[in-house]
C-alpha cells in the first residue's frame, strides 16, 4: 500500500506537569519498601558522604539548584546582572548540560527554583526533583563506588549525562547521580568480531553529537548521531534508539553498537557485546535509556566519509487557500513512501502556522543531480497547485561534518523564529533495511514517518497554562493514534504519562526486556519513568520512590 502511516512519536519538548511540591524534611523512619530521602532517619550521615567522597577521589558534588547562587543566595538580588544572565541562559540548555544534577525538562524542574520568580517575595528555592549528590564519574571504580553506596543506603540512583531527557530520566528527588558528562575519550578502532570487521569509534559516555561528528570527520569517517549537536551521542541517544540524518543509510544509533563498557548494578565492571553478556548488550542497544547499567563507553561502527547531497526548500501557507496548502502537505506525506525507497534518503520537514519547510534532505554518496531527480515529482506537484517556493536549494557537501554543521546552523535559525507556535516535524523513516537484532522498538522497522510534535511554552507561563499545553499535546497524540494503528512512539521523545507506554515505546520486545531487567538489576537500583519494569514502583506525592 502506498500510503500507510505506521509511526507515531510524540515529542514533549516543553511538556510540563507539576509534580512533587517540596515537603519540609522531618526525621522519619523510612519504610524499607521505599528509597530513602534527605531527612529520613536512614539517610546517610555526613561522615558517610565524606567517606564516599574520599573513595571517589574528591569527585562527590552536592547538588545545587541552578538559579540559587545568582538569584536566591543572601547578598544577591533577583534583579542583579548575575540573575539576569541565568534567565537569559535558561533556554540555551548549556548551563544544564554543564551541571551535575540540574536537568532541562521543565516539569521535572517544577519551578522549585525558578530564576524568573526570584523577584517574587514568596518565592523559594529548593532542589526539588534534582539529585541531592552527584559523582563526577571518571572511571569504573568511581561509578562502582556510587552503585555500592546506593545499595548500602537504600538510595535512589540515576545516571546523568547532558540532562536533555524529555521524560526527566536523568534526575530524581533524593538521588545520587552518576554524572558521566566528562567521559570524553574518543578513539578510532580497527574492529574485528564475529558481528563486524571494519572501522569503529570508541566513545566515552559523555561524547556529544557534535563532538562525534567532528572527531569522525577529522578521521575521514562518519557515524550515526542525532540531529541535535548537544545530545549525548554515546549515552541516552544510543540506548533509546537514536535517529539522525544518517539513519536511513546506516540505521539507528542502537543498530551500530558493537560493545559497551559498563558497570552493572552488582558493582561489576564488564565489557558487553554479542559474545559477552549478550542479553545485556541487546537491551542496551535500543531498550530504553538509563535502565540497565552505567555506560562508560560504547564502540560503534564508523563509515568512510564522502560527499552528501543536500536540499532544502520551503513555501508559505498564505499564498494559496487552506485547502490547497493542505493538499500540498498531503502530497508530501504520500511522496515520502517513494523517497523512502531511495537507499539512504532522509528528510526532515516542518509544518507550522506559517508554512511548510523541508529543513534538510540528506542523500549520502550521491550527486546534486540525484537529489534533484528525487525531489522533482514533488516540485511538479507544487507547480500544478500554483505554489511557489520561497527557498529552493540543493548542494553537494564534501563530508558529513560539513553537511551537519550547515543543517545545524539552519535549524537554529528556524527554531529561533518558531517559539509559541505548535510545530510538527515529519521525518521520513526508512531504517527497515538494517537487519540487526536488538531491543529497538520494532515499530521503527515498519514505519513511514517519525512525527515530532513540539509546543514551545514560556518559562514564565503559570502552571494552569502549562498543564493545558500538556493536555493539548496528549490530545494530539490521541488523534494521531487513531490513524496510525500498529504504530509506536519513540520513547526518548515522548511524554512520561502516556498510558500506552509499554506497547508504544517498546512494542513486542517489552517482556524480553523485563526478563533482562530482572536478571541484571533485580532490585531496580536504576528506575525511571516509562522504563521497562517501572510500574513495579511508583513515585509517591512527596517524591518518595516505593514499591507499587
Ligand X SMILES: Cc1cc2nc3c(=O)[nH]c(=O)nc-3n(C[C@H](O)[C@H](O)[C@H](O)COP(=O)(O)OP(=O)(O)OC[C@H]3O[C@@H](n4cnc5c(N)ncnc54)[C@H](O)[C@@H]3O)c2cc1C
Contacting residues toward ligand X, per CB under 6 A: 103, 158-166, 169-170, 180, 205, 226-228, 231-232, 235-237, 239-244, 289-290, 294-295, 492-493, 528
- Residue 482 is placed in which grid cell? 487513531
Measured from the CB of residue 378, what is the shortest distance to ligand X in angstroms? Answer: 24
Is the Cβ of residue 165 or residue 305 nearer to ligand X in the bound state? 165
Q: Closest CB to ligand X among 78 and 142?
A: 142
Shortest distance in whole angstroms from residue 452 CB to ligand X: 9
What is the rounded CA–CA span in Å between residue 203 and residue 224?
Answer: 12
Shortest distance in whole angstroms from residue 100 CB to ligand X? 11
How far apart are alpha carbons 331 and 146 in whole angstroms?
54
* Run of H or E including 359: strand 355-364
Determine the straight-line distance between the first and last CA of the chain, rounded to whole angstroms.
44
Query: In whole angstroms, how close is the CB of 24 to ligand X at the nearest point?
Result: 28
Helices assigned H by DSSP within 301-367:
322-340
CA of 78: how far to CAs of 94, 96, 459, 463, in Å?
Answer: 21, 20, 16, 21
Residue (404 or 474) nearer to ligand X, CB = 404
Q: Which residue is nearest to ligand X (CB)?
A: 236
CB-wise, 349 or 382, nearer to ligand X?
349
CB nearer to ligand X: pick between 44 and 232: 232
The residue among 72 and 490 lying less far from ligand X, judged by its C-beta, is: 490
CA distance 287 to 510: 8
Helical residues (DSSP H) of 311-462, grouped into ranges = 322-340, 368-384, 400-417
CB of 275 to ligand X, least distance (A): 21
Cβ proximity to ligand X, 164 vs 210, nearer residue? 164
Q: Could you tell me the smallest distance in angstroms from the CB atom of residue 36 to ligand X?
A: 20
Please tell me the distance from the alpha carbon of residue 223 to that of residue 132, in angstroms, as a whole number.
Answer: 36
Give the count of alpha carbons within 13 A of 142, CB side only. Answer: 23
CB of 370 to ligand X, least distance (A): 24
CA angle 320, 325, 330 (to 5 degrees): 160
Region of 90 (left: φ > 0; alpha: ψ -120 to 50; beta: rest) is alpha
- List the alpha helices (DSSP H) in 483-538: 501, 510-520
Amino acid at each position: 500500500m502506498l500510503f500507510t502511516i505506521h509511526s507515531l512519536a510524540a515529542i514533549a519538548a516543553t511538556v510540563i506537569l507539576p509534580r512533587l511540591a517540596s515537603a519540609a524534611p522531618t526525621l522519619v523512619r523510612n519504610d524499607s519498601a521505599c528509597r530513602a530521602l534527605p531527612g529520613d532517619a536512614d539517610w546517610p550521615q555526613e561522615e558517610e558522604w565524606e567517606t564516599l567522597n574520599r573513595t571517589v577521589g574528591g569527585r562527590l558534588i552536592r547538588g545545587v539548584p541552578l538559579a540559587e547562587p545568582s538569584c536566591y543566595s543572601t547578598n544577591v538580588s533577583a534583579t542583579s546582572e548575575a540573575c539576569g544572565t541565568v534567565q537569559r541562559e535558561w533556554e540555551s540548555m548549556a548551563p544544564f548540560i554543564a551541571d551535575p544534577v540540574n536537568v532541562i525538562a521543565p516539569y521535572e524542574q517544577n519551578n522549585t527554583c525558578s530564576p524568573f520568580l526570584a523577584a517574587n517575595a514568596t518565592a523559594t528555592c529548593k532542589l526539588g526533583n534534582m539529585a541531592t549528590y552527584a559523582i563526577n564519574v571518571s572511571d569504573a571504580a568511581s561509578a562502582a563506588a556510587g552503585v555500592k553506596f546506593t545499595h548500602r543506603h537504600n538510595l535512589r540512583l540515576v545516571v546523568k549525562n547532558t540532562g536533555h531527557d524529555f521524560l526527566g530520566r536523568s534526575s530524581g528527588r533524593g538521588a545520587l547521580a552518576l554524572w558521566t558528562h566528562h567521559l570524553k575519550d574518543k578513539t578510532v578502532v580497527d574492529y574485528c568480531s564475529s558481528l563486524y570487521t571494519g572501522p569503529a569509534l570508541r566513545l566515552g559516555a559523555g561524547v556529544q553529537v557534535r563532538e562525534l561528528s567532528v572527531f569522525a570527520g577529522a578521521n575521514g569517517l562518519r557515524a550515526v548521531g542525532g540531529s541535535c549537536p548537544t545530545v549525548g551521542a554515546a549515552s541516552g541517544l544510543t540506548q533509546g534508539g537514536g535517529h539522525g540524518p544518517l539513519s536511513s543509510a546506516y540505521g539507528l544509533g542502537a543498530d551500530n553498537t558493537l560493545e559497551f563498557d559498563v558497570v552493572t548494578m552488582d558493582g561489576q565492571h564488564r565489557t558487553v557485546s554479542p559474545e559477552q553478556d549478550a542479553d545485556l548488550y541487546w537491551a542496551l542497544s535500543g531498550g530504553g535509556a538509563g535502565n540497565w547499567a552505567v555506560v562508560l563507553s560504547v564502540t560503534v561502527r564508523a563509515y568512510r566519509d564522502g560527499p552528501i547531497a543536500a536540499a532544502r526548500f520551503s513555501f508559505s501557507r498564505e499564498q494559496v487557500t487552506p485547502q490547497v496548502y493542505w493538499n500540498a502537505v498531503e502530497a508530501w506525506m504520500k511522496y515520502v513512501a517513494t523517497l523512502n525507497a531511495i537507499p539512504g534518503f532522509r528528510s526532515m520537514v516542518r509544518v507550522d502556522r506559517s508554512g511548510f519547510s523541508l529543513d534538510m534532505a540528506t542523500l549520502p554518496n550521491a550527486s546534486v543531480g540525484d537529489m534533484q531527480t528525487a525531489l522533482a515529482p514533488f516540485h511538479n506537484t507544487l507547480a500544478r497547485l500554483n505554489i511557489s517556493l520561497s527557498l529552493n536549494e540543493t548542494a553537494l557537501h564534501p563530508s558529513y561534518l560539513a553537511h551537519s554543521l550547515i543543517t545545524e546552523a539552519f535549524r537554529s535559525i528556524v527554531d529561533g523564529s518558531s517559539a509559541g507556535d505548535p510545530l510538527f516535524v515529519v521525518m521520513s523513516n526508512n531504517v527497515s533495511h538494517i537487519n540487526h537484532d536488538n531491543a529497538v522498538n520494532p515499530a521503527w522497522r515498519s514505519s513511514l514517518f517519525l512525527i515530532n510534535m513540539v509546543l514551545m511554552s514560556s518559562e514564565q507561563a503559570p502552571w494552569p497554562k502549562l498543564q493545558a499545553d500538556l493536555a493539548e499535546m496528549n490530545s494530539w497524540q490521541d488523534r494521531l493514534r487513531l490513524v496510525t494503528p500498529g504504530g509506536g512512539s519513540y520513547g526518548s521523545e515522548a511524554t512520561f504519562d502516556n498510558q500506552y507506554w509499554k506497547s508504544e515505546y517498546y512494542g513486542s520486545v517489552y517482556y524480553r526486556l523485563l526478563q533482562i531487567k530482572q536478571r541484571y538489576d533485580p532490585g531496580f537500583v536504576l528506575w525511571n519513568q516509562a522504563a521497562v519494569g517501572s510500574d513495579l514502583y511508583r513515585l509517591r506525592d512527596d517524591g518518595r520512590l516505593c514499591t507499587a
